[in-house]
Structure 1
Amino acid sequence: MNFKNLNLINPIIRAVTEAGYSKPTEIQSKAIPHILEGRDIIGCAQTGTGKTAAFAMPVLQLLKKHSPDHQMIRTLILTPTRELALQIEENFKLYSKYLPLSQLSIFGGVSQGNQISSLRKRVDILIATPGRLLDLCSQGHINLSKIEILVLDEADRMLDMGFVNDVKKVLKLVNQKRQTLFFSATMPHTIRKFADTILNNPIEITVNPVSSTAKTIEQSVYFVEKNHKTGLLISLLKDPSILRSLVFTRTKHGADRLVKQLAQTGIFAAAIHGNKSQNARQKALEDFRNSKIRVLIATDIAARGIDIDELSYVVNYELPNVPETYVHRIGRTGRAGAEGKAVSFCDQEERSDLKNIQKLIGFTVPVMAQHRVFQ
């Protein structure tokens, strides 16, 4: 199977080929033909399997095929975080390299002035977080009445993070005669039920078991007391073969504190979370990508848009209390067939969280022998 077999047009095939893609992934080969037919989709696949391209390529082709006289926004992509919005925008730019289509991402946490200026130009595809989108709609800067395609990316996370009321408000603003696409790595029953209320006779596509983890990720867990976690982390990070490590904490304060603790031992890291300015978050990501720092500490709200090549090591410094979040966290490594390691620290209070995670993924995470803790 290649991209030509999916009836994609040459400008898109040329762009993805130049980007280094040789053949479609399973979610792409299954979803693209139905999207090109105009069908609504519920797509479930593991993180790192190419979900963004699975909707981006056919959306671009549909917009190219039906080009109206008006210059209003034609596709809206809702996503939970600014990092993910920026990542999706970059992907659309990549795939539309040879097409006369434009895209823009908007999100909170930054001044809206530049975004408003950009909206005055032609925007075919708008990628947005719900809060900023509704703000600009209420101010009259955005009109969604001509939306032809609506995409909810990471739909479970977006609704789980408390955006459900905002999403419902957006649904009232968009054209009711539209194509709607749901994509996520997990699809709990409550989210599926919500999807059924806004999709029209959808095609459901599931690649790999929902909520499964990639086989390319080597998972392990350390049972460690809470006050020994930092020492264990330092000991593990002393391994020079670990070139990049993404470490997850539950709280913003915990992420900042951990950065300071690591710095005291000569391990330089940066934190990325909701309280950081957009410029600070982008700088941290760029420093991490460029290997200026080896360790990035992140909270879950910042994790969805982190797409780093050759990220081989993920650490759950604290286990998430939502089992599906574990799938998304460790899905930052082992992407596109590459190998990766996911190490979790579990203290006494987190034993129930680990049990729930293992029940969800259908896998008992191997327990590591006690590691010599940094003193």
Structure 2
Amino acid sequence: MDILKLLSRSTKQTARTSKDAPSTKLPSAGTSANPQLFHDAVPEARGKKRKRGGDVEQTRAHDEEEESINFFETSSAASKAEKASAPKKTAEEPASTPEKVATKATTELLDEAECRQLLRSHRLKVTLLPSSKPDKVVKKSKKKKAVETSKKEEYKQVYPQPLVAFNDLRSTYGISGRMAENLVQQGYKIPTEVQMGSLPLLLRPKTALGDAIEEAEDSDGEVHVDLLAVAPTGSGKTLAFLIPVVDRIIQRRRTSQDKEHILEAIVVAPTKELATQIVNEARKLSLGTGVKVVGMRKGMQITPRDSPEGEVDDISEDEEEQEEDGSDAEKPKKSSQPAVKADILVSTPGLLFSALSGKNSDQATLLTIRTLVLDEADVLLDPLFRDQTLGIWNSCMNPDLRVTLWSATMGSNIESLTSTTIQARRSLLGLPSSHIIRLVVGLKDSAIPNITHRLIYAATEPGKLIALRQLLHPTAKSADETQSLRPPFLVFTQTIPRAVALHSELLYDIPSEAGGSTRIAVLHAELSDTARSNIMARFRNGDIWVLITTDILSRGVDFRGINGVVNYDVPNSGAAYIHRVGRTGRAGREGGVAVTFYTKEDIPYVKAVANIIAASEKAAGKKESEAGMKRWLLDALPTPSKQEKKKLKMHGVEARRGGLGEKSKDGKGKGKFKAQISTKSGYERKLENNRRGAIQGSKRRMEAEKEEHNGEDSEWGGIDE
């Protein structure tokens, strides 16, 4: 055997495998050790500081001792000097890794300077919103400065106590021991940024804020705080609002002698999938605590119609049989449907609003609700759900009601609407003004920085189909010599017909050896609840690799193992893009890819997506030479007007509104069905259409002849004898 050939072969083989080996940094590769998105270095303090959390600060005295070490001494002398200069380890000294930091509880509170440093290192900004709407800026030059200064005074930035580790929830904020055990069993150690900033504010506002705000206490003795949280997708917002809700109910049940289930909290989510996910997470968190969590179903009743408002029937929600009216005239008549018996209710706005309104015009009043949570608040307060959401909000008449709003994107109009509604409701009940706090993580209305964005020009609809088929091959390489997108991944389309058409086109693209058509599925709002739940379960279990869907799955749904997202159709807005691509790279996982195809029809609307990509790459620390979004492309793209943005948000790109393509306006037929998702030529589609029309016409003629023949038979009485 030639040893030179053997060595050269092994060398080439090693080089080939290392080059073609897939990247290990994938969201589906495993869990992230640190779910936090931002880890900015804390600047060294001037003078001696206490050591808290994960911020290791060196003091001046320690620096002077290090400078006095003589490195030209013998090894024994040098080791003695190092031992003498090394600080003694104490129980409060922070560990070097986030896992060790999370295992140590901080019982002492930080001072304002330490809170400011820690919040800034995690890019947390907490602002106390004004109690009333600030004055508008006057255009006159003399009054402009005075108005601007008053406006700045209205918005006050505060520095509350941050949550360093989940162990502090038990020691510092006094949550239930059973719930603390549930958090440990689920593997929660290091809080994310939104959990770090929001949990102290919602659990113990007095402890978190100190003397930063004036006290306006509720009946439970805590400062009344309403929260608006804007945090990136996948940053743990669901856990951030569930822990305070469950803890508040546990504390009430602990001090109260009445152990019955009273509806105290309502969580509103825009889609059924998100509502189901919240119910599952809440049940894991409240396991063994006695707190009952129920998901809203069609036909479920919140309060008995014929009983006094606010009272809840002592009937379990699982009893489906109708009860007959009692003979005793003194007892109130019970409705045919029993009222829900739970502590926390999770629902979509449509189901809950219809249950509160019922057949009568009068809307039921909920006097027991003490917490209202609006998840994905920007879409819930959008014109699509605004009336239903505000109707639910106005039904909650408890004076101790706390409102929290959560989303990855929240415009100024949503913020002003929220402040106005909260203050108007409290003034109606004769209560003092509420403390409305806004928490922003990172850059407001931006995509997460730990995923890779690709904006690909496909020119036409067939070009997008070809590009998507290339992504289905794991060994294929893109034009920039990067690895192709690996399943599982999501594909978003603009309309339901386009999602169905794309599914039929890709149904047989995956080889039968790999599972064939069972690996691709489509999910949209026209499917039944059972079918949607089945598809979601198969996708989470890994049976489905490519899931084609609409914006129904773009918000809140947690897929921790998604390797990427494909925007087959350009999103209707920048917020829609942020929520779509946020399905990957969740909980700090790296390696997610977001691919967006655009054609000639999309060019007027791509700039919003391009700006978000540029901001995300800048937040990730990429240099201009390494960034995928080039400056020349941003300058070349046209800027859409407000009218065009509004039109796009409401209806999407005009060429794809019909789903399978729009006819051309000219009479010659050029460009007909240019937005069709198909690889067939126009002539083949024409033949199929003619054949389909001939078959339908033949069926209609046969039915007409049959009806005519049946009519003759009915009139004919037979042969007379």
TM > 0.5 fold call: yes
Residue equivalent to 2:435: 201
Partners of 1:117 and 1:139 in 2: how far apart? 18
Select which of 243, 252, 259 maps to 2:503: 259
Shift of 1:367: 6.3
Which structure has more relative contact order (CA 8 Å, sep 6+)? It is 1
Partners of 1:295 and 1:342 in 2: how far apart? 14
Residue equivalent to 1:329: 580
Gaps of 5+ in 1: 369-373
Partners of 2:456 and 2:409 in 1: how far apart? 26
Residue equivalent to 2:609: 357
Partners of 2:438 and 2:613 in 1: how far apart? 21
Residue equivalent to 2:596: 344
Partners of 1:186 and 1:281 in 2: how far apart? 26
Which residue identity does 1:314 align to in structure 2?
A: V
Partners of 1:237 and 1:330 in 2: how far apart? 18
Cα deviation digits, residues 149-177 of structure 1 (max 9, x gap): 00111001222361001111112211242
Select which of 437, 442, 448 maps to 1:214: 448
Select which of 95, 98, 101 maps to 2:285: 95
Partners of 2:282 and 2:490 in 1: how far apart? 26
Partners of 2:600 and 2:374 in 1: how far apart? 37
Shift of 1:323: 1.0
Partners of 2:249 and 2:345 in 1: how far apart? 13
Select which of 160, 166, 173 maps to 1:3: 166
Residue equivalent to 1:65: 251
Q: Does 1:50 align with 2:240?
A: no
Q: Please state whether the residue corresponding to 2:506 is helix, strand or coil.
A: helix
Contact 2:300–2:340 (CA under 8 A) maintained in structure 1: no
Which residue identity does 1:366 align to in structure 2?
A: G
Shift of 1:360: 4.6
Partners of 1:195 and 1:323 in 2: how far apart? 22
Task: Give the strand-richer structure, 1 or 2.
Answer: 1
Contact 1:324–1:357 (CA under 8 A) maintained in structure 2: no
Partners of 1:114 and 1:163 in 2: how far apart? 21
Residue equivalent to 2:184: 17
Residue equivalent to 1:371: none
Compared CA separation, residues 2 and 9, structure 1 to 2 (3 A): farther
Q: Please state whether the residue corresponding to 1:203 is helix, strand or coil.
A: strand
Greater C-alpha radius of gyration: 2
Compared CA separation, residues 161 and 315, structure 1 to 2 (3 A): farther
Partners of 2:300 and 2:228 in 1: how far apart? 35
Q: Does 1:41 align with 2:227?
A: yes
Shift of 1:142: 7.7
Cα deviation digits, residues 96-150 of structure 1 (max 9, x gap): 113110111125xxx5369994474531001111111122223499862210000
Which residue identity does 1:28 align to in structure 2?
A: Q
Contact 1:311–1:332 (CA under 8 A) maintained in structure 2: yes
Contact 2:178–2:289 (CA under 8 A) maintained in structure 1: yes
Partners of 2:553 and 2:250 in 1: how far apart? 33
Partners of 2:284 and 2:586 in 1: how far apart? 19
Compared CA separation, residues 11 and 161, structure 1 to 2 (3 A): farther
Contact 2:301–2:339 (CA under 8 A) maintained in structure 1: no
Q: Please state whether the residue corresponding to 1:40 is helix, strand or coil.
A: strand
Select which of 247, 258, 263 maps to 2:491: 247
Partners of 2:499 and 2:588 in 1: how far apart? 29
Structure 1 residues 130-145: aligned runs within 5 Å: 130-139=349-358, 144-145=366-367
Partners of 2:521 and 2:186 in 1: how far apart? 29
Q: Does 1:191 align with 2:409?
A: no
Shift of 1:306: 2.7
Contact 1:273–1:299 (CA under 8 A) maintained in structure 2: yes
Structure 1 residues 226-241: aligned runs within 5 Å: 226-239=461-474
Compared CA separation, residues 174 and 358, structure 1 to 2 (3 A): same
Shift of 1:30: 0.7
Partners of 1:264 and 1:293 in 2: how far apart? 14
Shift of 1:305: 4.3
Partners of 1:272 and 1:312 in 2: how far apart? 18
Contact 1:46–1:212 (CA under 8 A) maintained in structure 2: yes
Tell me the matched-pair count.
367
Residue equivalent to 2:655: none
Shift of 1:326: 0.4
Q: Please state whether the residue corresponding to 1:99 is helix, strand or coil.
A: coil
Contact 2:264–2:344 (CA under 8 A) maintained in structure 1: yes
Select which of 68, 74, 80 maps to 2:270: 80
Contact 1:223–1:367 (CA under 8 A) maintained in structure 2: no
Partners of 1:326 and 1:5 in 2: how far apart? 36
Q: TM-score of the superposition, structure 1-length normalised?
A: 0.91
Which residue identity does 2:500 align to in structure 1?
A: D
Q: Please state whether the residue corresponding to 2:189 is helix, strand or coil.
A: coil
Q: Does 1:105 align with 2:295?
A: yes
- Tell me how large the CA RMSD over aligned residues is: 2.5
Shift of 1:4: 2.4
Structure 1 residues 258-337: aligned runs within 5 Å: 258-266=502-510, 268=517, 269-337=520-588
Contact 2:176–2:250 (CA under 8 A) maintained in structure 1: no
Gaps of 5+ in 2: 1-163, 206-223, 303-315, 319-337, 423-433, 476-484, 511-515, 618-626, 631-678, 681-721
Partners of 2:445 and 2:268 in 1: how far apart? 21
Which residue identity does 1:350 align to in structure 2?
A: D
Partners of 1:73 and 1:245 in 2: how far apart? 38
Residue equivalent to 2:397: 175
Partners of 2:486 and 2:408 in 1: how far apart? 27
Q: TM-score of the superposition, structure 2-length normalised?
A: 0.48
Cα deviation digits, residues 15-74 of structure 1 (max 9, x gap): 111112112111111101111135210111001000011110111111111135363310
Compared CA separation, residues 143 and 104, structure 1 to 2 (3 A): farther
Partners of 1:114 and 1:272 in 2: how far apart? 29
Single out whichever of 284-293 and 145-154 deviates more from structure 2. Answer: 284-293
